[in-house]
Chains A and B, each alone.
Chain A
Amino acid sequence: MNVLEVRGLTKSFGGLVAVEDVSFDLAAGEFLALIGPNGAGKTTCFNMVNGYLRPDRGSVELEGRELIGIKPRRIVRMGVGRTFQITRTFLSMTVLENVQMALISHHRRMYDIFSRATRLYRDEAMALLELVSMQEQAGRACSELAYGDLKRLELAIALAPDPALLLMDEPTAGMAPSERVALMELTAQIVAERGVSVLFTEHDMDVVFAHAHRILVLNRGALIAEGTGDEIRENALVQEVYLGGGTVFAAAEARDA
């Protein structure tokens, strides 16, 4: 069964068509990568799926329910977690409190004015931190964490409402190479254990080919290839887009000559 079905997604900004007629499916438990060169429309695509951007045309269905036109916060409540390209956390709170906030919101206790926030869902929050091996840092202020730890914290926050689908926008951006591999291994393992489906965008090809079950390649707003790692590696069009199909070099040579 498909968790996510995207059909004919299109978005232009002024005269620029950022995403044109993109369709794909995401199966339950699948780890799906969305790749493409800079400006290919990955982030635009992503923001339409999670509700931050309204497409001009097309539909996004989560387990049969249409997501277009629904506010991001409602999409979260429907079981879609997300992490950010640049981490977004509550910097004036501790690591544990950040996870507790996600749980408080999930249990709809945000308008409670009598309980002590720090005493709610402590154990559940601790369990989530253990999942990402952050339990040692639970009491630290978020503002003093290293970037890689913030990324892991975001993962714990995203998993708090027990989502069916996880959207990860460049999960390893800004991290050291060794950390990248570790974070994605951790993610892959959690995803497999909890049966979450993941859609992620990524620049680092090592990460993509090592973990993605399937890969979508976007170029200039259009989907140009789709398949397993091996299929994508062999795809002539993808090679041209990533390595340059000669047109660029031909032009350069002509100019130099």
Chain B
Amino acid sequence: MGFYVAQLLTGLANASSLFLIACGLSIIFGVTRIVNFAHGSFYMVGAYLAYTIVTTLDGGIFGFWFGVVVAAVIVGLLGLLVEVTILRRIYHAPELFQLVATFGVVLIIQDAALAIWGAEDLLGPRAPGLDRAVRIMGEPIPEYDLALILIGPLVLAGIWLVFHRTRWGVLVRAATQDREMVGALGVNQAWLFSAAFVLGAALAGLGGALQIPREAVSLQMDLSVIGDAFVVVVIGGMGSVAGAFVAAVLISVLNAFAILIFPQISIVLPFIVMAIVLIVRPYGLFGKEGSEHGAPSEPEQPLRLLSSRATIVVMALVFALAASPAVVSDFTTILLVDVMVATLFAVSLHFMMGLGGMVSFGHAAYFGVGAYAAAMAVKFAGLPMIPAMLIGPLGAAAAALFFGWFCVRLSGVYLAMLTLAAAQILWGVTFQWQDFTGGDDGILGVWPAKWASSDRVYFYIAFVLCVGGIWFLRRVAHSPFGYGLRGIRDSDVRAEAIGMDVKFHQWMGFALAGGFAGLAGVVFAFSKGSVFPDVLGIGQSVDGLIMVLLGGIHALAGPIFGAGVFVLIEDWVSRLDYWRFIFGAIILVVVLLAPDGVAGGVDRLLRAVGLRREERA
């Protein structure tokens, strides 16, 4: 019995820290409608700052708590800096922009932290006065855990008081419900948004600072916590602080007991819970309908077919690509395969996100399933290359059919979060199912057939599959099916009113996009000769989002530009020290200066120098 109580108390202590970070995320989303990827970075910086201040002061009980609070305040100021310099400019941009911009901040903070605190994990001091364990029903419970269990509800009560007893709090709640109305009543929105962002960031910093007696401070803290924080916010209902608390307790306590039965489950459990909650309650436990969408975006222009001259240019480029292995070095040939794989992946993501309006934070799942399905077909079934290349996309499409069935029942941010959950579940399974997937060691020895083993021959295989796939998806974009997807994105009510089966149509679009992501994964697997769990990771999904954004989401050519630019920049930058910093800065520059992406930027440049005629009025 005592053992179970101890497990429960550990769960509750974890819940408190999870709540602190998640409630800040929820407040920020509720008011500004920004999905803040950088929230994990605030948490990490809070921990680092607290470590530095507490160890420098070395001032006993007072020094420890003073350090924690000061760390939270400084993180709040950091949040203010980020809000004023970056986010304030993109409140009216589509969700994707905001997400990618905050991811740029993640990269920059990661390298800044590396430069300041170094790559070593830092072991924090224990909290003075709370450094022992007490025995409860015979089990030792750290005193600090008990303090945390108290701090969570105290912060919740504090936020409740601020939200219900102060004018500012009432305005925040009002803005969460209806931002435009609050603006119309003459409230200075910019100030309100900044304040909400500072509060959210400071709470994340507090969460991180309170963590230092419990775990080592490391550079991996940011991305390891952000997944769980998203889950908690979504389960609770975006924008609901009380919901975040309930969800944090639910997840942490479930986790504390689930690991007793099945120790490997902790990586995927939160995502499984989120998937179940979203299927039963599409807006989370305390969320309201309509809370799922970010800022409304400008309608895009109708699709036009390429002019005959543009077609000639495209054909010429394709022929140049086809002829390139004869001229360029083997190294460049391999790089070009990477570009083609990335382009097909980005085009498939754009197909579902740009045309279908279904933003996916987990598109890597299908890329990865394609790669793994092919690799396993070779490794375990001993199949030759060609059949394995067929199995990959089919496997990915099957996975997309399965997860898509759930995802298309949601929309906006909730849909994006469920795609993320799906990807994390698949990643967790791949990572932990050692016997079957090789776990962290991956699957090695996935080489092309003998006749295709030279770089040049494989280049042509990749060329046929990727360029063919891209051509096919573009063709579908102009077909009734692709137009239907765009129609649903524009107005699902209208789509239903002309007799379309909206959910089924989206489901099929999801599966098609997944299948082609899988094809990209297959080409990738055979070109590298191995697959590892990161092919389904958040990093790969975000890479895809960045490619689509770099290229511009409103143009069919966008992802093609974007993927090419991305791979070339990555190839160049990743050889440098602090490449994350540079890459993050590039992302921010693109987001702030060319919000319509490279395709849009090129377009505007051509107009500015008079090379392109304006559309007739």
Q: Which residues of A contact B (CB under 8 A)?
A: 72-74, 76-77, 82, 84, 88-94, 97, 101-102, 104-106, 109-118, 120, 141-143, 157, 160-161
Contacts and interface: CB of A to CB of B under 8 A. Distances in A.
A118 B499 CA distance: 19
A182 B503 CA distance: 37
Contacts of A77: 499
Nearest to A109: B480
Interface string B450-486: 0000000000000000000000000110111111101
29 contacts: A73-B501, A73-B502, A74-B499, A76-B496, A88-B491, A90-B486, A90-B490, A90-B495, A92-B300, A92-B486, A93-B302, A93-B486, A93-B487, A101-B480, A101-B484, A101-B487, A102-B498, A104-B484, A105-B498, A112-B480, A113-B479, A113-B482, A115-B479, A116-B478, A117-B483, A118-B305, A118-B478, A141-B301, A157-B494
Contacts of A90: 486-487, 490-491, 494-495
A115 B480 contact: yes
Contacts of A106: 498-499
Given A105-B498, A112-B480, A143-B299, 9 more contacts: A76-B497, A77-B499, A89-B494, A90-B490, A90-B494, A102-B498, A112-B481, A113-B475, A113-B481
When A and B form their complex, which 10 residue pairs have the shortest distance between CB atoms, in order from nearest? Answer: A91-B299, A88-B494, A117-B483, A143-B299, A76-B499, A90-B490, A102-B498, A105-B498, A90-B487, A112-B480
B122 to A, nearest CB: 51
A118 B305 CA distance: 10
Contacts, number: 110
Contact of B480 (A92, A120, A161): A120
A221 B80 CA distance: 53
Nearest to B508: A111
Instruction: Tell me the interface secondary structure of chain B in the complex.
Output: helix
B499 A161 contact: yes
A76 B481 contact: no
A1 to B, nearest CB: 25
A110 to B, nearest CB: 5
Nearest to B497: A82
A90 B487 CA distance: 5
B497 A91 contact: no
Contact of A105 (B300, B305, B479, B500): B500
Contacts of B154: none
A119 B482 CA distance: 14
Contact of B479 (A88, A91, A112): A112
Contacts of B496: 72-73, 76
Which bracket fits the contact residues of B?
Answer: 20 to 34
Contacts of A143: 299
A110 B484 contact: yes
A142 B300 CA distance: 10
Contacts of B483: 93, 97, 101, 104, 117
A56 B234 CA distance: 33
A208 B561 CA distance: 55
B606 interface: no
A72 B480 contact: no
A93 B500 contact: no
Contacts of A118: 305, 478
A92 B498 contact: no
Contacts of B501: 73
A73 B302 contact: no
A93 B480 CA distance: 12
Interface centre among B299, B302, B490 (most CB of A within 10 A): B302
A73 B505 CA distance: 13
A113 to B, nearest CB: 5
B187 interface: no
B480 A141 contact: no
Contacts of B300: 92
Contacts of A142: 299, 302
Contacts of B137: none
A219 to B, nearest CB: 28
A104 B305 CA distance: 19
B493 interface: yes
Contacts of B482: 113, 117
A157 to B, nearest CB: 7
A213 to B, nearest CB: 25
Contacts of B487: 90, 93, 101
Given A105-B499, A111-B508, A92 B478 contact: no
A157 B498 contact: yes
